[in-house]
Every structure is written in structure tokens, then in C-alpha cells.
Structure 1
């Protein structure tokens, strides 16, 4: 979701967030663009005495309201792993568990009213915009969390136990506001048993990939490729990963930084053209109208061979995939001999983003909840429960992993330093929405590559020129 499965309505833009607050008559001072009634004054965050047992100073008999995005990972892991772990050390906390597929729709009024919960898993297509939340002072700085002693060993800080990339990607202007929990590996997913039965080989070059698609198409009865047409961010992820493989990491940095002409770069055009050809020749019929569940169900039923997705897929299809399906993934093939990055390059990105709202009644309890999540015990049990890697170093060691997760983990190890990521989706939801929309049209033949490029570049240019939009760089 975030980097996980997407469902629900499109994420509202910052303007929509502010406009909704105005219409509701709820404009706390943090929403600086609001006018008129200032709304309720923000409460003063409560704090307790710090100690070795309570290093973050939470109010031990205060509330701890937790909201989980109920997507591909479900919400059971919070109820059975994380919340009981916190309760074991702080039994007087008033823990309240909640889950929803519509984070923004459900919680946005709470933020606007100055009464947000302590912890939010702000993930999925209906997540709130991180850039706007940071800009409006709605999030707690997580520095005290990372500087606190780890749950497992007081001599080791939380920061030392976590993949530093996860902290970096959750930071805005150098301050961490978002705790990325999962380590999602993206690639092309397939059934190992089907490939073995048909004698199909995993392609290492784009030419071989096209030959494989043609061979599958000729075999009849099964389409070569699909993606979640109603959530076309799945396909723009693949397009941008291929662009980075062709042109190097700077291609994605330029896009994130709203650099002039970033979307017109030749590697971006080449990647878009490559996937437009897949869309024109090899898509499962009706892909445009399918969501992620429907495309995955089609794959389970042998109607389609390959789809782009993240490493949560195996867990999301637990109980749905047929016995012996054999989930596996492969990285995008080499596009050509002049690729800037080698075979095996992956998009792997920390995700499933947790935040601690600054205006909650007991924000230090929210920080403590995240500290428990980042323990080896909690992270390891999470990995086993939902077949998803975490950002906690070594947490999966000795754990039982599913076949699909082993495949993704092996691909990540093989990639080494050849891992790419992009952040504009978190920083600028309007750009994300536009790129998703035009990518769907590109795959369905509704736009040419040049039109796709122009639409994406125009939206990036508009954001760059808008003084009301806070800019982030990496």
C-alpha cells in the first residue's frame, strides 16, 4: 500500500483539504491558508515523567487511539502483535483500535477539528497528503523516537536498529515526520508453477520480454500482461523504474525535485514508449476497468501471466491463490546495452507510512507505539504474519518466509546498491494523480507518448510555479 496496495478514492490535494476545512467551519491555526473562523484552539500535548521504563514520557493512563489502513496487509497485525506488546509494558493505556480503507475521508475532519488520534497508518490511495500535513504543522517530529533507547536493548538507540534510508525517505527538510515500516520490493510477478509447466523463461532483456509476451499471446487462453487499471500508479511505477534503469537515478531525482524538463528526458520517453507497446499488444482485455483485486484474481485463475506489483502481493492473495501457485517476481529486464544501471536494478522503497499527529491528546504514546513496532520481536512477527519485510535490521532472520517473499528478498539482495526510489508521490499528490491518470490513458491508447510527457510536465511546472506549495528536494 503506499508503497502498498491501493484502494479507495484518490488522495485529496492540499487545496481540497483546506477547502474542506473551510466548508466545515474547522480551520485550526496550523492550516495557514484558511480564512474566517479560526476554529478550536489546539490542545497542549500532555506528557509524563521520563524514566528507563518510559523514556519518551507518555501519559501512562492516557489514550492511545490507533488507526490502521485496512489494505493488502489488513489490520490484524496491529491487534495481535503491536497493540498487545505496548499493553504489556503500559497496561493502563487506553488503547483503541480502528481500521479503515479511507484514511483521509475518515480522519481529515478530525485533523481539521484539532482532535486527531495518536497513531495513523497513513497509507493507501485514500491517504492524506504528507507534504500538506508537514507544511501545516500537523505532524510530530520523530527525532525523539529515533534518539530513544530501542525496545530490545537500552544501550542501542532506535536509530541504530533501522535502515537509514527509511528515516531519510520519511524526512522533510531534514526532519523525520513519517515512520516507514515495511520495505516493499517492486517487480513483475508471476506463477512459478505456470512458467515451469509452460517452459517459459524469466527474461533478462527487453527483447526477450517482448518475445515472451508474444509467445504467451500465441498460446491462447491467457493474456501476457495486466495491471490494476483503476489504480494506474501500478503501471507508472514500472515506467519510472525502467526510466531510471535506462538513464540512472538522476532521472528520478529530477522528477522529484520538479526540475525543468524532467519529464521530457529521453529515458523517460523511452520507458513510456516501451510500456505503451505492451499496452497496445499484450494487455488482458478489460484491464482499464479492473482494480488490483480483480487483476490478481485473473492471475490466480490462469487468465493472465504477469503483472507489476509490490511484495505485499503474496499476503494479499493468501487464501485466494490456488495451492501450488508459487508466487515469484523478477526485476525489469535490461532495456539495452547502454542502460545506466545493471540487470537486477529494483524499485525498493520503505513504505506503510505511520505518523503521530502533533495535536493528539497523548502524542508521546504514539511515539512509544512506534518504538514497540520497531522492536525485533514485533517486526519479525509482522514479517511472518503478513509476508512483508520491515525496515528493522535483521528482523526477518530465523523467520518463516513465504515463497514469494523469499523471491523478493533474494532479488533485493542481488540488487545490492542498485535500488531506486521516487518521492513525488508523497510530496505532491496533484502530480501523482495526474501521472496516474495519463499513464492509464497511455496504456489504453488514449494518449501518445508525447502527450503523456506534456501532461506530466505541465503539472510539474504548475506546482513549481505555485508559491503556496511547499517544495522539497533530495
Structure 2
């Protein structure tokens, strides 16, 4: 999955962890629960070229989730950019696929890194970290002079919605760096060879799945073992197309009855039918890499994912395989048109409030948001960033060309969600469970909606859980 990821990496965004952030409360090492701890660490003299006052010799530690995006973008682009500015600074690079497991004891002991790429299935709960004062407010980053044009602010160089996507309690604590599009991925070369066409409606979806099934392939599959969120993304996108983006705003805001609205039931029922007719039950026990590799082998036709997929599978993708992505099919009476997609800033990067080099962490992110930093990221990872125009003129892969076409067709019909994934960990975990139950035939669409509503109601009623809100 993405580096992602979770866009997300992919994303965000990428994926979200299935377990609680820590086995014991963070408050044991927090100075003041619920607020942001005062910035700590080495300090230098601030000036026009050093807006945060980075100490030239202060060490910097960067922890990177090494998933679908790899970590070469950090070791070959971002860290060298920082080193060029501060040649006396020693940079420690840590790459892992187990972010929470790796950092749990360090947060407990007060020995935290400066920058964290928080993504993957074992990512940390950003809202919980912020509530315990562990994250640095990034407002000063976004208001700092842009490296490429110091007369403008960093925020002015970013695609709209980037800063807002990282808000917690009304302030930006997360930099979502990768611009990710979500949909149904397939091999366009295989489809062209067989005369199959990507569907625009669920009726067309079922018709082409019948042809695919007759040809001996699995028409649709997702990884039920470790990434059922790949599938619940599709359900929620379909719900937003059916009832408008307000459906997902209400879900995020724990609005009464949000999960039992007709749009959600219609979407759940449509996808449950796809699962029942066109997906083998064995996929509940497979991981994302296993299913993705089957697609590369020509065994699976459609796979739900984000635009990190192509790069993540580059080592397993055979010659002649051409990734392409199509929006989720339309349902009768949809409020949003077929080209509407979920596209968002994902892959969260954090600066710790109690790290030894806060200023260096902010400067590292500012370098990431330079044209050189963003362009280099695209070249190394295969994914486009939130820095406007940074990828212009770069040769794009088949998958990224498809994403670009998708974004052009969508125009302003962009679906935004789902903040609850990062806000309410237990609610997200329940959604994983019920998505598998729905797609593998253990519960109906009505039961899916009622079970999710019950968990949302319990979350809303739990006064120990900080509540968040979004308006768009």
C-alpha cells in the first residue's frame, strides 16, 4: 500500500492501523493532556533564509514509512537538500513499515524523532497524538516564505485543500503531501486485448464482470486480510455520488442517522452484489500485496486502490501491463456525475512537538514543498505532490497518465473524505470489520448500515473521545 499512503497513502491517505495507538496512555509522558507542548530543541538565529531559526549543527532524525512510495525520495532528494543547507548537521534516517510499533516505546520514553512520515497499516493516531501535545502546529510552516518565491507564503504554492486536509481541532498539525486519486484499477492492455470496456454504471460493471468471469479471471478483488479499507473507500465514494458529498460530511461529524441514509444503503447493497457474484471468498484471507500480484499475473481484473498502486507494484509488474484507473460506477439517481472521483492530499508528515530539532523539522518540510523537493519526489516515487506545477514536463507512467485524465474529467466534482478515519480509530476499525462481513456475504446492506450507525452513536456518546468537525 502507499507510503501512503496511505495516499495514504496513498492517504491518506493513504491506510489506517487496526489497533490502538499505544497499549498505555500517552499522557504518562505528556506535559499537558489536550494541548500542544511548548516547542523544544536546538535553536539558531532566524533570518530571511532561515525563517524557523534552524541551528546549523543540530542533528535531525527522520522516520519514513517505507511502503509503496519507498524511501529513496527521502534519502536521495529531501535529506540531501537539507544537508546542502546545513552541511554540519548529522541526519539520521529510519525506514520502517511498522510506524506505531517502532515509535511506541520512543514516545513513551520521551525520545522522539523530529519528522515522521506516518502511514501504512500500522500508522499512529494523529488525533490522539495531538490531544496529548505530541505534534507541532504547522501554521508557521504554511505561513513561511516559499523557497522558490520568498515573496509568497508556502501555502500559496499548494493545491487548494492541502492545509485544510491536515487540520485537527481547527489547526494544521499534519502535512498531507501526496495528491492521490482513488478508483478501480485495471490492466488497459488486457482489457483492449479482450475487448472489455471500463464500466460507467453498475449495470455495465456487472455485464463486463460476467465476461471477465467467463474468461476465467476473478472480476473483482480486494485484500480482506490487512486492507479492507480499500473496499470501504469504494462504498463511501459510491454513497457520496448517490447522495452528494454531504453524506460523508455527516458521517465525519457523527450526525444522527448518517450511516442509515438511503445513499449509504444503496451503495452498500450495490457493492455487496459485486462481492457475492464476482469475488472469491478466499480474498478475505489475502494481503494487499498478494492480491495486487495476482492482478499483475492476469488473474484479477479490477482492484480498488489509490494512485500509489502502480509504483508499489513496479517490481512485480510484467512488461506489457498498463495500469489504468476508472471512477466508481454510477448508480441510478446519483447526484454526482460518473467522472466524480475521490482525490485528496494524503500521506501525512508530522513534526514532533518534543523532538530535539523542531526548527529543523519545519525546514525539512519546507524543503519538501519546494519545486525541487516535490519534483524529485515524483521522479523517485512515481507520485505527484500537492505542490502546484512541480511535475509539469516530467514523463508520466501509464497509471499517472490515467490519473491525470481522471482529474481533468472530474473537474470540480471532487469527493472529500473521510476525516473520521483519523479522528475516530475504533469507528474505523469497526468499518473494516463490517466491510468484510458485507462483501463476503455474512450481513446485508441494512445490517451493515445499522451496525455502523450503532458504533458511530457509541463514539458520539463517549465523552472521553475528543470530537472533531468539518464543514466541507
Do both proteins adopt the same fold according to a TM-score greater than 0.5, normalized to the shorter chain?
yes
1:368 maps to: 363
Q: 1:222 aligns with which of 217, 221, 226?
A: 217
> Which residues in structure 2 correspond to 1:298-317 (within 5 Å)?
298-317=294-313
2:335 maps to: 340
1:381 maps to: 376
1:17 maps to: 22
Contact 1:43 1:114 in 2 (8 A): no
Q: C-alpha displacement at 1:386, in angstroms?
A: 1.4
Higher mean C-alpha displacement, 42-51 vs 357-366:
42-51
1:36 maps to: none
> Which residues in structure 2 correspond to 1:313-332 (within 5 Å)?
313-332=309-328
Q: C-alpha displacement at 1:138, in angstroms?
A: 1.0
For the pair 1:69 / 2:65, whether they are aligned, the reply is yes
Q: C-alpha displacement at 1:314, in angstroms?
A: 0.7
Structure 1 counterpart SS, 2:349: strand
Which string of whole-angstrom CA distances, capped at 9 and with x for unpartnered residues, describes residues 305-327 of structure 1? Answer: 11101000110111211101011
Structure 2 counterpart SS, 1:298: helix
1:142 maps to: 138
Structure 2 counterpart SS, 1:224: strand
> Which residues in structure 2 correspond to 1:43-62 (within 5 Å)?
44-62=40-58
2:80 maps to: 84
Q: C-alpha displacement at 1:350, in angstroms?
A: 0.8
In structure 1, distance between residues paired with 2:276 and 2:282: 12
Q: C-alpha displacement at 1:18, in angstroms?
A: 6.4
Structure 2 counterpart SS, 1:309: strand
For the pair 1:269 / 2:262, whether they are aligned, the reply is no
Shift in alpha-carbon separation, 1:43–1:367, aligned structure 2, 3 A: closer
Contact 2:143 2:153 in 1 (8 A): yes
Contact 1:315 1:386 in 2 (8 A): yes
Structure 2 counterpart SS, 1:190: strand
In structure 2, distance between residues paired with 1:136 and 1:123: 19
In structure 2, distance between residues paired with 1:180 and 1:91: 27
In structure 1, distance between residues paired with 2:380 and 2:363: 22
Q: C-alpha displacement at 1:187, in angstroms?
A: 0.6
Which structure 1 segments of 5+ residues have no match?
34-40
In structure 1, distance between residues paired with 2:185 and 2:247: 25
1:29 maps to: 31
2:90 maps to: 94
Q: C-alpha displacement at 1:32, in angstroms?
A: 6.4
**Count of aligned pairs between the two proteins:** 460
In structure 2, distance between residues paired with 1:382 and 1:299: 26
In structure 1, distance between residues paired with 2:132 and 2:23: 10
Which string of whole-angstrom CA distances, capped at 9 and with x for unpartnered residues, describes residues 191-247 of structure 1? Answer: 01100000001111111111111111122x211000111110000000000000000
Q: 2:345 aligns with which of 333, 350, 362?
A: 350
Q: 2:458 aligns with which of 444, 456, 462?
A: 462
Shift in alpha-carbon separation, 1:296–1:236, aligned structure 2, 3 A: same
Contact 1:158 1:371 in 2 (8 A): yes
For the pair 1:162 / 2:169, whether they are aligned, the reply is no
Higher mean C-alpha displacement, 248-257 vs 318-327:
318-327
Contact 1:139 1:356 in 2 (8 A): yes
Q: C-alpha displacement at 1:54, in angstroms?
A: 1.1
2:431 maps to: 435
Superposed CA RMSD in Å reads: 1.9
TM-score (norm 2): 0.94
For the pair 1:292 / 2:288, whether they are aligned, the reply is yes
For the pair 1:419 / 2:414, whether they are aligned, the reply is yes
In structure 2, distance between residues paired with 1:171 and 1:358: 16
In structure 1, distance between residues paired with 2:232 and 2:293: 21
Q: C-alpha displacement at 1:27, in angstroms?
A: 3.2
Which structure 2 segments of 5+ residues have no match?
none
Structure 2 counterpart SS, 1:349: strand
Structure 2 counterpart SS, 1:17: coil
Structure 2 counterpart SS, 1:187: strand
Q: C-alpha displacement at 1:30, in angstroms?
A: 3.6
Shift in alpha-carbon separation, 1:397–1:9, aligned structure 2, 3 A: closer
1:38 maps to: none
Contact 1:7 1:71 in 2 (8 A): no
Shift in alpha-carbon separation, 1:136–1:183, aligned structure 2, 3 A: same
Q: C-alpha displacement at 1:155, in angstroms?
A: 1.4
Q: C-alpha displacement at 1:380, in angstroms?
A: 1.1
Structure 2 counterpart SS, 1:68: strand
For the pair 1:186 / 2:182, whether they are aligned, the reply is yes
For the pair 1:410 / 2:396, whether they are aligned, the reply is no
Q: C-alpha displacement at 1:8, in angstroms?
A: 9.8
Structure 2 counterpart SS, 1:164: coil
In structure 2, distance between residues paired with 1:99 and 1:59: 25
